[in-house]
Structure 1
Amino acid sequence: MPIPTDTLVNEFIAYLRFEKRYSDHTVRAYEDDLAQFFAFLADPQKGAYGRIDPREVAAVMVRTWLADLRSAPVPASPRTLNRKLSTLKSFYKYLLKRGVVTSTPLVNVVAPRVNKRLPVFVDEKQSERLLKDTEIGEGWKGFTANLIIALLYQTGMRLSELVNLKESHINGYGSSLKILGKGNKERIIPIGPDLLNSIRDYVSEKRTTIASPDREYLLVTDKGKKLYPKYVYRIVNEHLKEVTTLSKRSPHVLRHSFATHLMNNGADLNAVKELLGHASLAATQVYTHTTIGQLKEIHKKAHPKG
């Protein structure tokens, strides 16, 4: 007896959440993409295929869906289309593993070409000013803001990794932090003595300044509660506004800056990959662009025919 589509989708979402341990944000994106795809197939004005069993989905149905997204009043970008296609591929990979299907309709669907976006970053002089900036916020808020900036720039961790950083993840003897990245994968990031001392001072001050603070997570608000993403985003945006004219001023800019500055100063690509927690080297190679840019500049200045 065929398993209902809703049941298969729900089981897949549970697999992502509890076995793959994807973040809530990522799981919601998968859920929304699948709901949108099957709703499109059933829509008599669009897909007009009716409520269809996943085993009956063909490549032409997927292509029709992508074409509809491209021709929408607000057309989906190639990057968005690729993400949605990736969702379907993951779903059918799961169904293959379960033995629900014997083949996937995605084999004959070509992904739209995406132009690689170069990472946005601050230069090294701006980063020095950024770390010295103590003008934003006073008291506990200022103390927290400065540590947020230092951690993001000096470790390259993601926003989600920062807000979930626990006091128990700090290794004072080994001068390192344990980071829980995507898929709950652990990695160790070395830190310098200045940052380690700042963290120790923060923990000590938290105990004496704030009544009943959260002692599990490192960073807290002035009420002692665990930080949340919007709080961090706002702090980073305000700090970056003081040192750069970049229109993009998110926590990820500091992650990009961390990686770019490492590469520009001769760091090994594989080492940068491990520090960033990338699953593949391809994701890290985007940071070689600045090194190539520097080489071009050196060539232009130093070579007779530059």
Structure 2
Amino acid sequence: MIAQFGQYLLAEKRYSPQTVKAYKTDLLQFVDFLGYTPDEFAPCEVTHVLVREWVVSLVKSGLAPCSVNRKIATLNSYFKYLKRAGVINKNPAAKVVHPKQPKRLPSFVSYEATERFAHSSADDFLSLRNLLIVELLYTSGIRSAELMGLKLEDVDCQCLTLRVLGKGKKERIIPIIPSTNSLLKCYISKREDFLNGLSAPYLILTAKGEQIYPKLVERVVKEMLKNAGVKGKRNPHILRHTFATHLLNNGADLLSIKEMLGHTSVGTTQIYMHNTLEKVKTSYMKAHPRANKNS
């Protein structure tokens, strides 16, 4: 039933292949914890107690609360699917207590660092591709999976827009700034020379002319951010956080950022308000004449 569940997520829920793979991994880990092989696994024998024991083992292993909660959500979705299909009568994951997650502000890259990688030298196809990867992630705020899925036809250099297929196959149009548009034009020209008459549907390609993949994007971002002097986290998602934080800090409204990020709820976008608030509080404490006086 795990394979069928994966097909359901792809076809009906329209989840990305990466998300479906993560769901399957979580389920197989749970099955392994119970001591079964996937073929031996009988969902109808799973109880609330067994699910809770798995959660306790995950917490004791030191797994972060957010990761534990994601795995609980996977089980919940799976058993809901089985209940609707008439395979089980009750969802054993329905009332499992989720570990509390500490509220963490999204990390982001400084404006100065983004300027450093923006001015990286890029003359050949691959160096242009690498620069385009980080520039698109930062200047459009798209997800890594959305970047990988971009096709040549999704780029409109005349109107300065990108057509992006997001979560749940929802399409949105994102504006791009002139400097990114110029980089895109340059890259597309080099791309044509690189392909030498061959065709390829995807915008950003590997050295073999194929669609880029997650590890490549992660490696490129890590290297580019390291060269720009960025300390700490250097992953693709931090550029999405940076996009949202920089827009807010420079006066963009929350609803516009929500639309560009492809969030279904403005509540998801509001987390970036905290970074802006911290900046305001710091400025306030530095500037107010009574701020440093003892009460």
**Residues 199 and 75 from structure 1, CA distance in 2 versus in 1: closer, same or farther, beyond 3 angstroms?**
same
Higher relative contact order (Cα pairs below 8 Å, separated by 6+ residues): 2
Q: Which residue of 1 is the match for residue 15 of structure 2?
A: 22
SS of corresponding position for 1:93: helix
Give 1:4-153 correspondences, 5 Å limit. 8-42=1-35, 53-71=42-60, 74-134=61-121, 138-153=123-138
Measure, in 1, the Cα distance between the counterparts of 2:7 and 2:14. 9
Amino acid paired to 1:78: P
Q: % of aligned pairs identical?
A: 43
TM-score normalised by length of structure 1: 0.84
Match of 1:180 among 140, 165, 169: 165
**1:39, 1:144 → 2: CA distance?**
41
Unpaired runs of 5+ residues, structure 1, are: 1-7, 44-50
Partner SS, residue 106 of structure 1: coil
- Write out aligned runs for 1:202-281 (5 A): 202-281=187-266
- Shift, 1:153, TM fit: 1.0
Asked if structure 2 preserves the Cα contact closer than 8 Å seen for 1:211 and 1:224, the reply is no
What SS does the aligned partner of 1:107 have?
coil
1:147-196 deviation line (CA, Å, top 9, x unaligned): 22221111011122112210111123432111112222211111123322
Q: Check if 1:201 corresponds to 2:186.
A: yes
Choose from 130, 144, 156 the match for 1:159. 144
Secondary structure of the structure 1 residue equivalent to 2:172: strand
Contact 2:106 2:241 in 1 (8 A): yes
CA contact (8 A) 1:62 1:109 kept: yes
Q: State the Cα deviation string for residues 55-98 of structure 1 (Å, max 9, x = none).
A: 45332221112122333xx4332222111100111112223333
Deviation at 1:253, TM superposition (A): 1.8
Q: Residue 107 of structure 2 aligns to a residue in which SS?
A: coil
Output the CA distance in 1 between the equivalents of 2:202 and 2:179. Answer: 20
Relative distance call for 1:163 and 1:64 in structure 2 (3 A) is same
Residue of structure 2 in register with 1:3 after alignment:
none
Partner Cα separation in structure 1 for residue 208 and residue 47 of structure 2: 54
